[in-house]
Chains A and B, each alone.
Chain A
């Protein structure tokens, strides 16, 4: 009897907790989740609709009424070098991210750890560099790319992307490095580590969330970049996905909406995977620098 009462009480408590969670957490969060996921959902739905339905003003735009079609994906794969563009984007983004994160670590460490005249000003200057818009920089950079003989090659992007990735990653990593107690490094140096060794063996392992956060940002920025990829690379087979899709699927006043959305859906997959895999690191990397 007592057991039954106890079990009933536990159940009621559980139910009450579940209800409380539903009303205080899940339901309030739901609109934000729907808002955030809506573009992805709309892209997916549009990419699977027939052209006839896309143009039909009487059809509901939020779901598919007249059957799913893969024709937009087929067009993308069969009539454009989409997968070349995808591979180019991947190569450029991964390479530019790796180079930028390494350079940013080397820049952020002295700015965060070493005391020298003008260290703070350098830190601010690095961030201000990030604020110069690419629409101003692409003209002088086109001269630089040409001078280096890198026009119409993926190397032109690998070289130019760090111009906006390094300042941002440096700034982000400076904040994160400052959250790691310097006493740990000092202990290591007392035990015989050089400055470089202490950075490599002590600081960086402790700053993995920050590094992943910087890498994620750098990868996303590279993946989405448009202007430099447009200006510095012309051959169709060397275009990145952002430029290739735009070039082939917008023809004057004709937009291939279904295929554009199919390209956008496939293009968002690597970013989604990267963020899902490293979400915890990303959040802690972003917030740690803010609460020193």
Chain B
């Protein structure tokens, strides 16, 4: 009997060949029919869409972690970064096409959980594990939308007050603590060409600061039931009277046209005595070596950060709640969950918060006590601000309607219309009440 070179009978080799060929043909037919490459040939790839961080080092650390995770798991990774203003269009297009990134940044605000509820993967298991490892979530009830976790709150930039210490000294003032203190200081500052600055236009900062004032005076726009509109109240009137005085006595009219960058510019240009803003203005002043006008002194040396101001009814603030979620049309939802577990490990979050100089504070108890907040006196009040930070719909739950109130800038418009004298107090509140009621009514039906 003829044998092959390795000593096996020729017949057996032929059978083997036929068997292999038949198997290959069947496999190929299957691949062609299903239009999917076989599992072992599929390059596993995780794609992540996020917004450009206000502190660029944060993105570099996130990319490093993603690549490290990819190398550990033999997964190709891709981090795509866009400006935060572009995120709305991008999300809408990905949902419409039901195709896009696996992981996506969501926000600002928790409202995306409601708006995209039917398009997001449930994250109860991941959230529970992450909470357990990081000393628990700050306010877990706030993050549950329709009783479930469809996104993870990722980071917030707390809103302290940034103040020019040299000007305070010049005016003979101590560190202000209440909104009334700021009105007094703003008046004095404006008299010497250094007004106070909060945005009253269509910007995220205007929403944040005016809601902070509204709550500090005891007002709110929706009740805890998430249905009853509560904007028409004596407390709202008091808050609006205060903002009118702040606008006319302590600020310049330019605040009506301010975007999110304008208050940073006002502080760093040496004009404003104080602004309500995250530490980004200070960070950029340091990076760009901006000087106090007319001197060689770096302006960062005369900027300090104080707690968000207190009102007659307490201290409350809000901010952009930046979140992360997984689309339910993602090709690699399980890999995405795995990366979230990796990124939210205490040691990785530590590095990520460190890289952001404390700008990006996670919504996790242990991270509010991160050493970075003690590394520089500038950051000392940030954990205090985070403690009084609530979602913009407070005391109501986050819903699509509450997100729409924010997106349409109803609160800034209501305050601005009275502050500028375009409407009387009654007219402005009636207008705001009508708009908010209509939004909530439409979302109910």
Contact = CB atoms under 8 A, between A and B. Distances in A.
Interface string A215-257: 0000000000001001110111000000100111011111100
A52 B99 contact: no
A251 B83 contact: yes
B86 interface: yes
B100 A151 contact: yes
B52 A252 contact: yes
A172 to B, nearest CB: 29
A247 B83 contact: yes
A87 B56 CA distance: 25
B180 interface: no
B271 A57 contact: yes
B390 interface: no
Contact of B52 (A55, A143, A146, A251): A251
Contacts of B157: 252
Chain A binding site: helix, strand, loop or mixed by DSSP?
A: helix
A55 B97 contact: no
Interface string B29-72: 00000000000000000010101111110000000000000000
A143 B205 CA distance: 34
B268 interface: yes
Chain B binding site: helix, strand, loop or mixed by DSSP?
A: mixed
A56 to B, nearest CB: 6
A99 B289 CA distance: 49
Contacts of A142: 93-94, 96-97
B96 A143 contact: yes
A152 B96 CA distance: 16
Contact of A138 (B83, B84, B93, B283): B93
A236 B81 contact: yes
B93 A247 contact: no
A232 B49 CA distance: 13
Contact of B89 (A56, A138, A151, A252): A138
A225 to B, nearest CB: 13
Given A146-B97, A254-B264, A236 B80 contact: yes
Interface stretch (B290-298, B381-389, B398-406): B290-298
Interface in A133-149: 138-140, 142-143, 145-146
Given A52-B289, A243-B86, A253-B280, 15 more contacts: A52-B290, A57-B271, A138-B93, A139-B92, A142-B94, A142-B97, A146-B98, A151-B100, A230-B90, A251-B54, A252-B51, A252-B260, A253-B261, A254-B264, A254-B284
11 contacts: A51-B289, A52-B291, A55-B265, A140-B96, A234-B90, A235-B80, A252-B52, A252-B54, A253-B281, A254-B284, A255-B261
Interface of B: 47, 49, 51-56, 78, 80-86, 89-90, 92-94, 96-101, 157, 205, 260-261, 263-265, 268-271, 277-278, 280-281, 283-285, 288-291, 293-294
